[in-house]
């Protein structure tokens, strides 16, 4: 006796395509034997070449039986395929629509009594309404009304429109419909206008040829405030009985069905977690840390490069493992997405979550790495607090439970960036939780540290008796004990630190007094500024030998200045030193912030000098430009003569004031620019290697303000107060960022 597989061999032996449905149907019709419906359906569903997804008998029967509970007169299946759901409907009139003609022909061959019409049910003009629609909707996306949408969304909308009042939709859909962020508004509309009576969750891998997790939805076309029944599928008969008798599973009130509707998220096993979090003071991770998804752009991976492309498999038991098969990227591959470059203290967790041991804390001396697309980075000033929390057993458990609740069960367990942002962390009884970072604790006095320790110890006394029944309290007690141990170590060091701080304040006082003497000298601004810079170098070298937290300033700067690594070495010294001066000067009475302004200005001055003016000189030499010819006509012009002399002699000693003046001459439609070949050449070079904003009026105005309103005034006898210093602080940061972002890569050889 021939089987369906023998039929396929016959087609191949005739030199025809055995996966062509027309060939298959012709061969079936030529056989004397009638083939069983299920044998043909299973053959098509189990073979990848046919791309046919079947609704297997037990699920078709279950959906049909649920439909019978509503005593319908007319049922339709809008995407019926071979009609397996319709086959189980024998209690009323039914029909199906199918877009694939070959599938319709085979369906009519194996089930001739079932009415199936070959139409696109989404485009078809239906002339009647139905009491029930029972369907297994197709996967993927479709174009509808000029925009793309998921098939299940479009079919559900169409189905509800075709139902009679009080009608019911029973549909089989991918579970992503119940949790995906891009479906949130659609879900809300369905719940608001209709009654989601039940969700039957099927196990992953339940259907042939797909690992997509599926659910059966029962949606009644009427508004209701009743709860939704969540049921985990066991077998068809038991599941039907549970649905009919409101047994098994659990019920969730409509008002609690917010954002997500999937079974895992609302499962009662998470209620203890939710109660624990709600009863204690917590903060969302987004309030404590920046949450960054790993680099997900398509690039050509290399065997060697600037950065290891870090994947979850590289993280094992909290350590970094490197394999021969690892891929690497160069910095140029990142397209300025430097956020994905790991920094010291970054907490890295995988998006595809199976084991919390995958958590990794990046150390500064580790292999330079970029987080890959399946990783999430937690980055902030407060990572020390998070790090301490996540190294406790209870902290890991509480974090892991939130992961297990929020996992999206598609083809593989996945956690989203938005989910992680909303994870909650127990907060210790300290008004400013940022004080508990390592760097901040290092700045507190002995009295302040003891006050914090006392608060933590009192909190532990209150919580210890209750912690056995509350996981959040367990995590808090464990975290508190860790923090108390750290505080004990710090308190022992504070006396030495505070004596060093007193010395620092004495030196800062002397520095400001020296500055006042220089300001009163009968010299020009640039001469006085040069002397001030020499004083700053001498005093700062002495002060920073004490290493009083300068690294903490660098870490803070990196938060707002993402292109830190592109700065010149001297600039990397000037900026944190200036921030250090700002804090120290603020401790003085009648403070003069001139040292802070001079030091910060040096950073921008250094960047412009090296990246623009020095590279321009280098460019002229490398390209063998005739500098005598270039500057020949400039010496008669009082505005360009100084620049011409520097270019001709290759003298690269420009002051900030001189550079500001030269750059200001490059403004569009300027008279001097139109008459100067040198300035035109310099402007062409600047436009080639810098973004347009560097020469725009707005940026030039900011640059001029820094030089004339702040830097030069710092050399005048008057005192610069805190308000002016803070205005300058914001302005200089803006200019540094814009200059760094506008700097394009120069060809090899054009650097100094």
pLDDT on residue 72: 97
199 forms beta bridges with: 217, 230
pLDDT on residue 612: 93
Q: How confident is residue 669, by pLDDT bands cut at 50, 70 and 90?
A: confident
More confident of the two residues 443 and 46: 46
Q: How confident is residue 206, by pLDDT bands cut at 50, 70 and 90?
A: confident
CA angle at 456 for the pair 452 and 459, rounded to the nearest 5°:
140
Is pLDDT at 93 greater than 90 in this prediction? yes
Which two tokens mark 750? 């054009």
pLDDT on residue 163: 96
Interatomic CA distance for residues 399 and 376, integer angstroms? 14
Is pLDDT at 391 greater than 80 in this prediction? no
The β-bridge relationship of strands 74-77 and 319-320 is unpaired
* Lowest mean per-residue pLDDT among 489-503, 640-654, 718-732: 489-503
* Lowest mean per-residue pLDDT among 87-101, 185-199, 484-498, 565-579: 484-498
Cβ neighbours, 10 Å, residue 485: 11
Q: In which residue are the tokens 């209750």 written?
A: 466
Interatomic CA distance for residues 587 and 133, integer angstroms? 75
What is the SS3 assignment for 248?
Answer: coil
Torsion angles phi and psi, residue 279, rounded to 5: -90, -5
pLDDT on residue 238: 95
pLDDT on residue 434: 47
Is pLDDT at 596 greater than 90 in this prediction? no
Calculated CA dihedral for residues 538, 543, 546, 552, nearest 10 degrees: -110
Is pLDDT at 235 greater than 60 in this prediction? yes
Under 8 Å between Cβ of 363 and 344 = yes
Is pLDDT at 117 greater than 90 in this prediction? yes
Cβ neighbours, 10 Å, residue 534: 11
* Lowest mean per-residue pLDDT among 16-30, 148-162, 480-494, 630-644: 480-494
Long-range contacts of 721-727 (CB under 8 A, 24+ apart): 721/591, 721/593, 722/586, 722/591, 722/593, 724/593, 725/582, 725/593, 725/596, 725/597
Check residue 412 and report its DSSP letter: S
pLDDT on residue 360: 84
Which two tokens mark 196? 């989601």
> DSSP letter string over 9-28?
HHHHHTTS-TT-HHHHHHHH
| Segment 402-425, tens digit of pLDDT | 888 888 765 566 788 888 888 888
pLDDT on residue 275: 76
* Lowest mean per-residue pLDDT among 155-159, 248-252, 456-460, 537-541: 456-460
Interatomic CA distance for residues 452 and 67, integer angstroms? 64
More confident of the two residues 612 and 42: 612
Under 8 Å between Cβ of 672 and 678 = no
Interatomic CA distance for residues 167 and 75, integer angstroms? 10
Is pLDDT at 207 greater than 90 in this prediction? no
Average pLDDT value for residue range 36-58: 79
pLDDT on residue 695: 87
Average pLDDT value for residue range 631-647: 91
Interatomic CA distance for residues 696 and 706, integer angstroms? 16
Is pLDDT at 325 greater than 90 in this prediction? no
Is pLDDT at 747 greater than 90 in this prediction? no
pLDDT on residue 215: 93
pLDDT on residue 466: 43
Q: Which residues contact 465 (CB under 8 A, 6 or more apart)?
A: none
Check residue 329 and report its DSSP letter: E
Output the CA–CA distances (angstroms, integers) from residue 38 to 29, 35, 41, 54, 565, in the order listed. 17, 9, 5, 10, 65
pLDDT on residue 430: 42
Return the percent helix, strand and coil in the chain, to nearest 5: 55, 15, 35
Q: In which residue are the tokens 């509808």 written?
A: 144
Q: HSE of 436 in the Cβ direction (CA atoms, 13 Å)?
A: 27
Is pLDDT at 620 greater than 90 in this prediction? yes
**CA 294 centroid distance within chain:** 7
Under 8 Å between Cβ of 279 and 472 = yes
Report which of 195, 352, 192, 203 is spatially closest to residue 264, judged by C-alpha positions.
Answer: 203
| Segment 259-295, tens digit of pLDDT | 788 888 888 888 777 777 777 778 888 888 899 988 8
pLDDT on residue 178: 87
pLDDT on residue 543: 59
Q: How confident is residue 469, by pLDDT bands cut at 50, 70 and 90?
A: very low
* Lowest mean per-residue pLDDT among 6-15, 26-35, 248-257: 26-35
More confident of the two residues 470 and 168: 168
Is pLDDT at 577 greater than 80 in this prediction? yes
Is pLDDT at 355 greater than 60 in this prediction? no
Is pLDDT at 465 greater than 50 in this prediction? no
Alpha helices in 568-670 (DSSP H): 569-585, 594-608, 615-622, 627-631, 641-649, 656-664
Q: Which residues contact 652 (CB under 8 A, 6 or more apart)?
A: 609, 613, 614, 617, 646, 752
Interatomic CA distance for residues 46 and 42, integer angstroms? 6
Interatomic CA distance for residues 505 and 288, integer angstroms? 32
Is pLDDT at 592 greater than 90 in this prediction? no
* Lowest mean per-residue pLDDT among 58-62, 109-113, 585-589, 681-685: 585-589
**Considering the chain, what is the average pLDDT of its residues?**
80
| Segment 20-29, tens digit of pLDDT | 888 888 888 8
Percent of the chain residues past pLDDT 90, beyond the cut: 27
Report which of 7, 54, 49 is spatially closest to residue 29, judged by C-alpha positions.
Answer: 7
More confident of the two residues 58 and 490: 58
Q: Which residues contact 225 (CB under 8 A, 6 or more apart)?
A: 254
Interatomic CA distance for residues 320 and 313, integer angstroms? 9
More confident of the two residues 110 and 365: 110
What is the SS3 assignment for 147?
Answer: strand
Average pLDDT value for residue range 656-671: 87
* Lowest mean per-residue pLDDT among 69-78, 453-462, 647-656, 679-688: 453-462
* Lowest mean per-residue pLDDT among 13-22, 303-312, 377-386, 693-702: 377-386
Q: HSE of 198 in the Cβ direction (CA atoms, 13 Å)?
A: 26
Is pLDDT at 85 greater than 90 in this prediction? yes
Under 8 Å between Cβ of 277 and 424 = yes
Under 8 Å between Cβ of 694 and 735 = no
- 25-57 in b/e burial notation, b at 16+ Cβ within 10 A? bebbeeeeeebebeebbbbbbebeebebbbbbb
| Segment 686-705, tens digit of pLDDT | 998 888 888 888 888 999 99
Interatomic CA distance for residues 93 and 61, integer angstroms? 16
pLDDT on residue 53: 75
Report which of 91, 88, 97 is spatially closest to residue 60, judged by C-alpha positions.
Answer: 88
Q: In which residue are the tokens 């301490």 written?
A: 388
Under 8 Å between Cβ of 247 and 241 = yes
CA angle at 147 for the pair 142 and 151, rounded to the nearest 5°:
25
pLDDT on residue 583: 79
Which two tokens mark 464? 């210890």
Is pLDDT at 446 greater than 50 in this prediction? no
pLDDT on residue 462: 45
Report which of 677, 692, 682 is spatially closest to residue 662, judged by C-alpha positions.
Answer: 682
Which two tokens mark 165? 């009042």
* Lowest mean per-residue pLDDT among 251-260, 270-279, 323-332: 270-279
């Amino acid at each position: 006796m021939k089987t369906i597989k023998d039929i396929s061999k016959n087609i191949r032996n005739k030199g025809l395509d055995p996966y062509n449905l027309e060939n298959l149907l012709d061969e079936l019709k030529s056989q004397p034997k009638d083939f069983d419906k299920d044998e043909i359906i299973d053959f098509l569903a189990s073979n990848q070449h046919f791309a046919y997804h079947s609704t297997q008998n037990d699920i078709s029967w279950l959906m049909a039986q649920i439909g019978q509970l509503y005593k319908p007169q007319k049922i339709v299946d809008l995407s019926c395929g071979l009609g397996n759901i319709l086959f189980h409907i024998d209690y009323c009139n039914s029909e199906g629509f199918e877009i694939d003609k070959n599938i319709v022909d085979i369906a009519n061959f194996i089930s001739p009594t079932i009415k199936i019409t070959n139409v696109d049910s989404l485009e078809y003009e239906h002339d009647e309404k139905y009491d029930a629609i029972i369907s297994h909707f197709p996967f993927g996306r479709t174009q509808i009304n000029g925009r793309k949408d998921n098939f299940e969304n479009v079919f559900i909308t169409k189905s509800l429109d075709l139902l009679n009042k009080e009608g019911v939709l029973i549909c089989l859909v991918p579970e992503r419909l119940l949790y995906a962020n891009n479906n949130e508004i659609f879900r809300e509309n369905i719940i608001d206008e209709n009654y989601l009576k039940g969700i039957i969750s099927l196990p992953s891998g339940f259907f042939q040829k797909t690992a997509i997790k599926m659910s059966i939805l029962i949606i009644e076309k009427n508004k209701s405030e009743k709860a939704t029944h969540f049921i985990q599928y066991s077998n068809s008969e038991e599941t039907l009985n549970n649905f009919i008798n409101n047994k098994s599973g659990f019920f969730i009130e409509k008002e609690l069905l917010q954002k997500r509707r999937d079974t895992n998220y609302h499962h009662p096993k998470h209620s203890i977690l939710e109660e624990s979090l709600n009863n204690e003071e917590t903060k969302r991770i987004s309030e404590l840390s920046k949450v960054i998804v790993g680099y997900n752009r398509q690039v050509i991976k290399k065997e060697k490069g600037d950065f290891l492309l870090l994947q979850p498999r590289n993280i094992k038991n909290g350590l970094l493992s490197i394999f021969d098969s690892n891929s690497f990227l160069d910095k140029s591959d990142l397209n300025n997405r430097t956020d994905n470059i790991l920094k010291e203290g970054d907490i890295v967790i995988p998006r595809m979550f199976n084991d919390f041991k995958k958590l990794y804390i990046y150390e500064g001396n580790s292999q330079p790495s970029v987080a890959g697309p399946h990783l999430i980075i937690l980055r902030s000033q407060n990572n020390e607090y998070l790090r301490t929390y996540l190294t406790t057993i209870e902290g890991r458990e509480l974090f892991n439970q939130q992961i297990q609740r929020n996992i999206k069960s598609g083809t593989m367990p996945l956690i989203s960036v938005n989910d992680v942002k909303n994870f909650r962390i127990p907060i210790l009884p300290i008004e400013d939780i940022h004080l508990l970072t390592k760097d901040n604790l290092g700045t507190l006095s002995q009295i302040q540290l003891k006050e914090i320790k006392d608060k933590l110890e009192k909190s532990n006394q209150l919580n210890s008796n209750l912690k056995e029944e509350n996981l959040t309290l367990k995590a808090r007690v464990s975290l508190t004990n860790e923090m108390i141990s750290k505080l004990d170590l710090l308190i022992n060091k504070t006396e030495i630190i505070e004596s060093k701080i007193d010395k620092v304040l004495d030196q800062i006082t002397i520095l400001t007094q020296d500055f006042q003497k220089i300001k009163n000298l009968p010299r020009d601004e640039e001469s006085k500024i040069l002397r001030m810079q020499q004083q700053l170098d001498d005093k700062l070298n002495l002060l920073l030998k004490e290493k009083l937290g300068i690294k903490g300033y660098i870490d803070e700067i990196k938060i707002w200045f993402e292109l830190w690594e592109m700065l010149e070495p001297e600039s990397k010294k000037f900026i944190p030193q200036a921030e250090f001066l700002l804090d120290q000067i603020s401790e003085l009475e009648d403070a003069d912030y001139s040292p802070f302004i001079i030091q910060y200005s040096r950073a921008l001055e250094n960047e412009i000098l090296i990246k623009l003016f020095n590279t321009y000189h280098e460019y002229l030499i490398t390209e063998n430009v005739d500098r005598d010819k270039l500057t020949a006509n400039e010496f008669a012009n009082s505005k360009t003569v100084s620049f011409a002399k520097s270019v001709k002699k290759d003298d690269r000693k420009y002051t900030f004031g001189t550079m500001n003046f030269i750059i200001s001459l490059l403004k569009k439609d300027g008279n001097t620019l139109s008459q100067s070949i040198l300035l035109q050449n310099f402007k062409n070079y600047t436009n080639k290697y810098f973004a347009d904003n560097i020469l725009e009026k707005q940026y030039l105005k900011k640059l001029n303000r820094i030089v004339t309103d702040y830097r030069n005034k710092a050399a005048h006898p008057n005192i610069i107060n805190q308000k002016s210093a803070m205005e300058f602080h914001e302005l200089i940061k803006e200019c540094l960022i814009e200059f760094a972002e506008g700097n394009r890569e120069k060809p090899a050889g054009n650097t100094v």
